[in-house]
Amino acid sequence: MKAVVFKGPYDVSVDEVPDPTIQTPLDAIIRITSANICGSDLHPYEGRVDFETGMVLGHENMGVVEEVGAGVERIKVGDRVSVPFNLACGTCRNCTDGFTSACLRANPSGQPGAGYGYPAMGPYWGGQAELLRVPWADFNLLELPQGTEHELDFTMLSDIFPTGYHGTELAKVAPGKTVAIFGAGPVGLMAAHSAILRGASQVFVVDHQPDRLALAEKFGASPVNAAEVDVVEAIMDGTDGFGVDSGVEAVGYQAHDPSGQEHPSLVLDNLVSVVRATGAIGVVGVYNPEDPDAATDSAKEGRVAFDFGTAFTKGISIGTGQCPVKRYNRELRDLIIRDVAHPGSIVSHELPLTDAVQGYDQFDKRVDGWTKVVLHPAA
């Protein structure tokens, strides 16, 4: 099959690799119809986390079941399915508690949590390919309505729609609450869509990329352009000096000022400033235990010195971590089916797999208009 193979920093190629096979009775093989490029893929792409060369990339996958192992009973050949980016066993303590993001059995390294085509997430190939092997298929796969309708909406169910929603859950967004979301990348935009679906009365979205801010506005949020205004002042003014109830971090460890200079604590500091006393912050942007290329010596060791003193004094709750996709994807799917949610509206580019190299390059450079890239291996 054809697949997007990681060769080294800024070097991916579309190569012929062996087809995946059923390796345990609980596996399924999926023929991929859509596989998205994610902001998280840019971390290995930019060489900011170590990744084994030869691995197939891609953790945002959906498609049609091609083959199932002898022990797969619920999922059938021909089913259209979404594949959560968390790869989980379904029976360990964390899985049974609903934390599929911290499965204790799927990652052979022993680290909690596994995934497809991603550093430190186990040996599993990704789905930016014609075919994908899915272990524990009955547990992991989410069934979708047959056909091709809502393809671009459903393809957001594997990661960023649930992840954006998780950010708002950690931030305790509820009807009438005010919300500030930092980052208008795909995850921040999904957090904005989720906050509005959950009944927030006012949602600010901060970024310095005008094309992304325009999409935030389409979802009903108020854009705050960090290149033009002091973002803390703008949000405080916009809330009569009170601050917001909820804050979502959808940027991650490469947070930077509009000139591109990285400041690992910038967004966390901003959030502590704009979230009101007793409010809550959800951090879904990724921070790493090691980042040798970080802008500060402490951040090289994963130590991000943000204003924790003020956060404590204000009694702010902070939640973090990878999204347990299965906790939300069924209900978010049904919001798409009923035409209430439209997460696919952020897609700017649909490319055949053979154009993946260009897709990585343009999305990585945040070229104007490249807001979300979806690869269609069958095209």
42 near Zn ion, judged by CB under 5 A: no
38 near ligand NAD, judged by CB under 6 A: yes
**Cα distance between residue 264 and residue 294, in whole Å:** 8
User: Residues 342, 211, 217, CA angle at the centre, nearest 5°?
Assistant: 50
226 near ligand NAD, judged by CB under 6 A: yes
Dig out the tokens for 315 from the structure: 């009694």
Provide the residue count of the chain: 379
- In the list 171, 215, 255, 275, the residue contacting ligand NAD (rule: CB under 6 A) is 255
User: Residues 337, 341, 347, CA angle at the centre, nearest 5°?
Assistant: 105
**Cα distance between residue 50 and residue 269, in whole Å:** 28
Does an H or E element contain 310, and which?
Answer: helix 308-313
- In the list 187, 195, 311, 374, the residue contacting ligand NAD (rule: CB under 6 A) is 187
Shortest distance (Å) from residue 258 CB to ligand NAD: 8
267 near ligand NAD, judged by CB under 6 A: yes
89 near Zn ion, judged by CB under 5 A: yes
Interior/surface letters 161-191, b for 16+ CB within 10 angstroms, e for the rest: bbbbbbbbbbbbbeeebbbbbbbbbbbbbbb
User: Residues 20, 321, 365, CA angle at the centre, nearest 5°?
Assistant: 70
- In the list 323, 332, 335, 375, the residue contacting ligand NAD (rule: CB under 6 A) is 323
Contact partners, residue 89, CB within 8 Å, separation at least 6 = 95, 103, 104, 105, 106, 136, 139
322 near ligand NAD, judged by CB under 6 A: yes
Answer with the entry of ligand NAD, Zn ion, none that 89 interacts with (C-beta below 5 to 8 A by kind): Zn ion
DSSP label at residue 56: B
Shortest distance (Å) from residue 93 CB to Zn ion: 8
Nearer to ligand NAD, 73 or 257 (CB): 257
Number of residues that bind ligand NAD (CB under 6 A): 31
206 near ligand NAD, judged by CB under 6 A: yes
75 near ligand NAD, judged by CB under 6 A: no
157 near Zn ion, judged by CB under 5 A: no
* From 68-76, 145-153, 155-163, 171-179, span contacting ligand NAD (CB under 6 A): 155-163
Q: How far is CA 218 from the centre of its chain?
A: 20
39 near ligand NAD, judged by CB under 6 A: yes
**Cα distance between residue 126 and residue 117, in whole Å:** 4
284 near ligand NAD, judged by CB under 6 A: yes
- In the list 30, 32, 37, 38, the residue contacting Zn ion (rule: CB under 5 A) is 38
Binding site for ligand NAD (CB under 6 A): 38-40, 159-160, 163, 182-188, 206-209, 212, 226, 250-252, 255-256, 266-267, 284-286, 322-323
